[in-house]
């Protein structure tokens, strides 16, 4: 009887166990599905709109999945209002996200933001920290800015011409024309721990003179000085005048004033008082309105002798 009674006792509820197993299976399936969706999104081509731009939703998805380039692009769109209403706060957040993942362009944007470029924040210490990160990440404009700050001892950076030379060299390798010009100056004057080397300076200026950049006329003027005075190359007045003409027509005020003196004296060009006055006036444009007077030649570099000064059109 006891055995029979025991056999009639229910074994207990089993549904909860089956329910837990089903819930666990469902959760696993959901997790696997989410992982599959994330993987597909990461491997699939970005969503592209009819105008060829990656859609905002596609960028957000890529950015949330850790794509630093997508985060940077989102920041730029919010900053400039490209396809979306401008939102400086969102732009800043996405720049921070991208820079935190190693995006040098976003680090440079943060350096400019904290340096006061956006008119919101002025924090020299943070600006310099982000600028260094951007420079170390290979961003040529950041390398150039850092080099100038180190050369001048500005923006919270200590004055360090040797480090400035290092960053000018890095920026030049990254394609910065201004950095190429500055390397010419460093080798011309012996700055940053390098010995003055007029031959090396000439090479840097020749490289800069061929670039389509606003520093090219300055480099062309330096090539004029080299050929006119025998600095790093044999003296060659016709070659010097070719470079001077290029620099003057390119808008370099010092070249324009010097060309005016050449026309006044008939040195290297036919004497022409009218062109002499015209070029001197041209050199004053943007300096002082309605000022047609000759204010005297600019000072010569310290290495120029009195004889060279006359040829160069500068004051020894």
- What is the number of other CB atoms lying within 10 angstroms of the CB of residue 63? 21
Query: Is the residue at 160 inside a domain?
Result: no
CA gap 222, 240 in Å, rounded: 10
Query: Is the residue at 94 inside a domain?
Result: no
pLDDT at residue number 32:
60
Q: What residues contact residue 259 under an 8 Å CB cut-off, 6+ apart?
A: 244, 245, 248, 269, 279
Query: Is the residue at 308 inside a domain?
Result: yes
Query: Is the residue at 198 inside a domain?
Result: yes
* pLDDT digits (tens), the chain, 316 positions: 444 444 454 444 454 566 667 666 666 666 665 554 454 444 444 443 434 455 778 888 888 888 899 999 999 999 999 888 999 999 999 999 999 999 999 999 999 999 999 888 899 999 999 999 999 999 999 999 999 999 999 999 999 999 999 999 999 999 999 999 999 999 999 999 999 999 999 999 999 999 989 999 999 999 999 999 999 999 999 999 999 999 999 999 999 999 999 999 999 999 999 999 999 999 998 543 333 444 445 554 443 445 444 444 455 5
Q: Which two tokens stand for residue 27?
A: 């959760």
128 sits in the region (left: phi over 0; alpha: psi -120 to 50; else beta) called: alpha
DSSP characters for 109-143? HHHHHHBTTTSS-B-HHHHHHHHHHHHHTT-HHHH
Total domain count, the chain: 1
Query: Is the residue at 207 inside a domain?
Result: yes
* CATH for 242: 1.25.40.10
Bridge partners, residue 299, by sequence: 315
Q: Which residue range(s) make up the domain with 305?
A: 176-316
pLDDT at residue number 308:
44
Quickly count helices (H) and strands (E) in the chain.
Answer: 16, 0
Query: Is the residue at 274 inside a domain?
Result: yes
Query: Is the residue at 23 inside a domain?
Result: no
Query: Is the residue at 158 inside a domain?
Result: no
């Amino acid at each position: 009887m006891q055995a029979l009674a025991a056999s009639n006792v229910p074994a207990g509820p089993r549904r909860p166990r089956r329910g837990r197993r089903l819930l666990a299976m469902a959760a696993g399936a959901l997790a696997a599905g989410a992982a599959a969706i994330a993987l597909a999104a990461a491997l699939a081509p970005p969503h592209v709109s009819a105008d060829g731009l990656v859609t905002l939703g596609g960028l957000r998805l890529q950015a949330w999945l850790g794509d630093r380039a997508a985060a940077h692009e989102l920041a730029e769109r919010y900053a400039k209002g490209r396809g979306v209403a401008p939102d400086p706060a969102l732009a800043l957040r996405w720049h921070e996200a991208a820079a935190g993942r190693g995006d040098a362009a976003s680090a440079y944007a943060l350096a400019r933001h904290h340096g006061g470029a956006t008119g919101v924040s002025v924090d020299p210490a943070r600006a310099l920290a982000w600028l260094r990160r951007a420079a170390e990440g290979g961003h040529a404009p950041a390398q150039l800015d850092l080099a100038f700050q180190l050369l001048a001892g500005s923006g919270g950076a200590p004055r360090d011409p040797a480090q400035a030379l290092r960053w000018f060299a890095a920026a030049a390798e990254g394609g910065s024309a201004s950095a190429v010009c500055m390397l010419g100056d460093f080798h011309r004057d012996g700055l940053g721990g390098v010995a003055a080397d007029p031959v090396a300076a000439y090479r840097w200026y020749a490289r800069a003179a061929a670039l389509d950049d606003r520093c090219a006329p300055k480099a062309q003027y330096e090539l004029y000085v080299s050929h006119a005075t025998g600095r790093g190359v044999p003296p060659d007045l016709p070659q010097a005048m070719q470079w001077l003409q290029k620099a003057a027509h390119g808008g370099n005020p010092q070249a324009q004033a010097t060309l005016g003196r050449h026309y006044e004296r008939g040195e290297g060009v036919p004497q022409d008082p009218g062109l002499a006055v015209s070029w001197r006036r041209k050199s004053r444009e943007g300096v002082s309105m309605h000022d047609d007077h000759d204010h005297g030649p600019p000072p010569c570099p310290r290495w120029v002798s009195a004889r060279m000064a006359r040829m160069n059109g500068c004051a020894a």
